[in-house]
Chain A
Amino acid sequence: MTKIQDVAVEAPPAGAPPPRPARAPRRAGAPAALVAAAAVLPPLLLDNVWNSTLSLALIFGLMGLSVVVLTGYVGQLSLMPATFVGVGAFTSAGLVSRLETPFWGAAPLAMLLTIPVALLIGVIALRLKGLYLAIMTLVFADVIQEFLFKQRWYTGEGGTVDAPRPVLNLGAAEVDFRSERSFYVLVFVVVALLLLAVWSFSRSRTARALYSVRDNEAAAQALGINVAKYKLLAFALHGMLAGGAGALYGHWLGTVSAGGQRPQFGLEFSLTIVFFTILGGVRTIWGPILGGAVWVVLVRRILAGSPNGQSIALAVFGLLVLLTMMYRPAGLVGWAGDAWRRLRGREAAA
């Protein structure tokens, strides 16, 4: 469909039949209204628990988005997104509660400070092929857990840091983001802006270079694409998005802790992020949002009463990811697209 539109934009050659009347220009109003509704309606209509759940779903979606830019766009698998989430969470929480930085500076700073950590892994990744890279990230998650997340100066006394939610002081008026409802709006705005940024990035020339590296590295290199540069870029984006999600996650939690025997930001969390992203669809920005929402709603609402909700959900998600990999690698988004096309096809036939 889009193909036809693209062609119709160009001037028709002389003598050609007159172009079909262009479809009614897409109204920008409808999507904008939808976005506004998604931002405003939950705080107005739903209770605190749902607002908190939806905030978490969006934050998880953002974590999954970090997997999309790396695995979906460049085809590199990182098994340590949760580690970068941890770096973002501890950095932002520490800046706010111990160095008294305002949230509005701390969270973006945490996002930026995660980039060098991710680049460190990226530099090593340049020398490794896919399979080795996966092992390497697994192991580096351990190293960071052991060395960075156990440093007192970083994770505080007893390994926990407070992460208070912000209050925006506008001179005359104060906007308090400490309630679940207002925090949801904040999370929504941040995630929506980052989604928009990744979306427009995904259509840029740079992103096309990333895709070519993913699809055929040798061919990309032969075309003069600097493979190393683009891989590093993807790692930087991966770290940045995961770090940003981590900052939000920390303030969502209220206190950030490294966990004792069972690390908070360890392999299990990373697997969760990778799983729901793949289930949703790893090559589109909507995949992690959808997958993350399914995961969070499943764990925090449907299985909330069960003490083993997390493990049931992990088992279910493991099976679902298996089925996804075997039958429909494009995930839920791809599957929904199929259903939509089938529906449209039937309409057209009727």
Chain B
Amino acid sequence: MGLVSVLAFSGSLLGQDAVQGLFLGAVFALLGIGVVLIYKSSGVLNFAHGSMAMFCTYLYLQLDLWFDWMPAVVSSLLAVGAGAGLGALVYRLVFRRMREAGLLAKVIAALAVAGALQGAAAFIWRNVSEGRLPLQFGTGGLRAGSVSLAWQQIGTILLTVAVGAGIIALVKYTTFGIALRATAQNRNAARMLGVQEDRVAATSWAIGGGLAALAGVAIIPLSALTVYSMSGYMVRGFVAAVVGGFVSLPASIVGGFGLGLVQESLLAFGSGFGSLSRVFAGLAIAVLLLLRVERFFALEQELRALEELG
């Protein structure tokens, strides 16, 4: 079977799959950035990330149904705003009260938030049949040789690179960023120096929620929206975050793009690789976790802070 599959390999197919891989990778990266920010600021591995994205994507669909004259970009921005609000709200209502709780308790609480959002979405939008959602970057696209690129794909990839660079700059140069890094490395010292932990964490949750919504509205027009559709993306966002050891943003972005690229490129080797492509994220995360790859990307001090949390 392997031999036949290799024979079925074709260059243009690989190119096409690679484009799709980068597109999906952009979505993984957007989710990964949010997971890292949230983890750094509040020590919560946000298992509700996919549900938050899903919920905001349904809001986007609802806005589109209510106001069909509204440009997709505007409703997308509104959905992203809602995501930011949702993130901040979840932090205020739940995780601010659980600051001193154990790791396991936080994980379970995040799962509970995910369940609540999932159940609520399934109930609120039970009668909404998902049509094709409007594309933010317009229909059509470019052709380069035998490879076609949709505007949606190009736009999402470029936007992700820009957003990623922006967030990295934010964390590197602004007061918020310095406060965030200080909190992640040494909570007590940061607190003593007057860092307002709650504010930093709420901001991070808001950014994370907004990016999750962005990832959702970007991918869903080319995919299908169900209550469960974002959890697979969330797991892959986790893989991206694991590459950066839950602390390094650049490594998470690279990890997201890399995962998307490899996962989709595998499809070019024939249908026998379909299953492998689908579980590639799982195998990747196993290898990454067992090799403790975060050692290469995260500062010694950050890792020690992580250990204390764990």
Interface, chain A (partner B; CB < 8 A) = 71, 75, 77, 79, 124, 127-132, 134-136, 138-140, 142-143, 146-147, 150, 261-262, 267-268, 271, 274-275, 278, 307-308, 310-319, 321-322, 325-326, 329
Contact = CB atoms under 8 A, between A and B. Distances in A.
Nearest to A134: B107
Given A130-B107, A271-B115, A311-B118, 9 more contacts: A134-B107, A139-B281, A140-B282, A142-B281, A311-B119, A311-B122, A318-B118, A325-B108, A325-B109
Given A311-B126, A315-B115, A318-B115, A139 B228 contact: no
B45 A131 contact: yes
A326 B110 CA distance: 12
A326 B94 contact: yes
Nearest to B231: A267
B104 interface: yes
Q: Which of A136, A271, A311, A325 has the most CB of B within 10 A?
A: A325
A307 B126 contact: yes
B302 to A, nearest CB: 15
Contacts of B119: 311-318
Interface stretch (B144-152, B184-192, B285-293): B285-293
Contacts of A79: 111
B310 interface: yes
Interface in B103-139: 103-105, 107-109, 111-123, 126
A49 to B, nearest CB: 25
B232 to A, nearest CB: 8
Interface in B235-282: 235, 238, 242, 275, 278-279, 281-282
Interface of B: 45, 47, 94, 97-98, 101, 103-105, 107-109, 111-123, 126, 226-228, 231-232, 235, 238, 242, 275, 278-279, 281-283, 285-286, 289-290, 310
A318 B117 CA distance: 8
B123 A315 contact: yes
A124 B117 contact: no
23 contacts: A124-B290, A129-B310, A131-B310, A132-B242, A134-B47, A135-B242, A135-B289, A138-B235, A138-B238, A139-B281, A142-B278, A142-B279, A146-B278, A261-B226, A267-B228, A268-B118, A311-B123, A311-B227, A313-B119, A314-B116, A314-B119, A315-B117, A318-B119
A278 B107 CA distance: 12
B123 A322 contact: no
Given A146-B275, A315-B119, A322-B112, A135 B238 contact: yes
Contacts of B101: 325
Contacts of A316: 119
Contacts of B108: 77, 274, 278, 321, 325
A124 B275 contact: no
A308 B278 contact: no
Contacts of A317: 112, 115, 119
A321 B115 contact: yes
Contact of A312 (B97, B123, B282): B123
Contact of A124 (B105, B112, B226, B286): B286
A314 B114 CA distance: 10
Contacts of B275: 146-147, 150
A130 B104 contact: yes
Contacts of B281: 139, 142
A77 B104 CA distance: 7
B170 to A, nearest CB: 25
Contacts of A134: 45, 47, 107
Contacts of B238: 135, 138
Contact of B120 (A128, A136, A315, A321): A315
Given A131-B310, A308-B122, A314 B107 contact: no
B67 to A, nearest CB: 26
Contacts of B94: 322, 326
A315 B283 contact: no
Nearest to A325: B109
Contacts of A147: 275, 279
A143 to B, nearest CB: 5
A75 B104 contact: yes
A268 B228 contact: yes
Contacts of A150: 275
Given A136-B289, A315-B118, A321-B112, A146 B279 contact: yes
Most chain B beta-carbon neighbours within 10 Å: one of A143, A147, A278: A143
A315 B107 CA distance: 17
A333 B289 CA distance: 36
A319 B112 contact: yes
Nearest to B307: A129
Contacts of A139: 235, 281-282, 285-286
B112 A275 contact: yes
Nearest to B126: A308
B200 to A, nearest CB: 21
B72 to A, nearest CB: 26
A134 B118 CA distance: 19
Nearest to A128: B289
B118 A130 contact: no
A75 B108 CA distance: 12
A291 to B, nearest CB: 13
Contacts of A138: 235, 238
Nearest to A142: B282
Contacts of A77: 104, 107-108
A150 B279 CA distance: 13
Contact of B103 (A131, A274, A315): A131
B45 A326 contact: no
A36 to B, nearest CB: 37
